[in-house]
Amino acid sequence: STIISSKDVHLSYGNFEALHGITMDFKQNELTALLGPSGCGKSTFLRCINRMNDDIANVEITGKIKFEDQNIYSPKTDLVWLRKEVGMVFQQPTPFPFSVYNNIAYGLKLAGIKDKELIDQRVEESLKQAAIWREIKDDLNKNAQSFSGGQQQRICIARALAVHPKVVLLDEPTSALDPISSSEIEETLLNLKNDFTFIMVTHNLQQASRISDMTAFFMNGDLVEYGTTS
For residue 205, what are the contacts with CB-CB under 8 A and spacing of at least 6?
Answer: 35
Sign of the dihedral through C-alpha 3, 43, 175, 210: positive
Q: Which of 28, 39, 190, 195 binds ligand ADP (CB under 6 A)?
A: 39
- Residue 197 CA to chain centroid, in angstroms? 9
* Dist. CA 186–CA 184, nearest whole Å: 5
Q: Is residue 103 at the binding interface for ligand ADP, with CB under 6 A as the rule?
A: no
Residue pair 100/136 in contact (Cβ under 8 Å)? The answer is: yes
Q: Which of 98, 106, 133, 226 binds ligand ADP (CB under 6 A)?
A: 98
Question: Interface with ligand ADP by CB under 6 A: which range of 13-21, 70-78, 185-193, 222-230?
Answer: 13-21
Q: Which of 17, 30, 85, 120 binds ligand ADP (CB under 6 A)?
A: 120
Three-state DSSP at 170 gives: strand
CA-wise closest residue to 82 among 43, 53, 116: 53
Q: How far is the CB of 141 from ligand ADP (least distance, A)?
A: 5
Question: Interface with ligand ADP by CB under 6 A: which range of 89-97, 99-107, 144-152, 179-187?
Answer: 99-107
Q: Which of 4, 9, 22, 40 binds ligand ADP (CB under 6 A)?
A: 40
Neighbours of 223 (CB within 10 A): 22
Q: What are the φ/ψ torsions at residue 208 (nearest 5 degrees)?
A: -60, -45
Per-position x/- string for 191-220, each x denoting binding to ligand ADP as judged by CB under 6 A, each - no binding:
----------x-------------------
Q: Is residue 230 at the binding interface for ligand ADP, with CB under 6 A as the rule?
A: no
* Dist. CA 60–CA 157, nearest whole Å: 30
Q: Is residue 73 at the binding interface for ligand ADP, with CB under 6 A as the rule?
A: no
Q: Where are the alpha helices (DSSP H) in 50-115?
A: 79-85, 100-110
Q: How many CA atoms lie within 13 A of 115 on its CB side?
A: 4
Q: How far is the CB of 188 from ligand ADP (least distance, A)?
A: 22
Q: Is residue 126 at the binding interface for ligand ADP, with CB under 6 A as the rule?
A: no
Nearer of residues 34 and 160 to ligand ADP, judged by Cβ: 34
Binding site for ligand ADP (CB under 6 A): 13, 16, 18, 36, 38-44, 56, 98-99, 101-102, 120, 140-141, 201
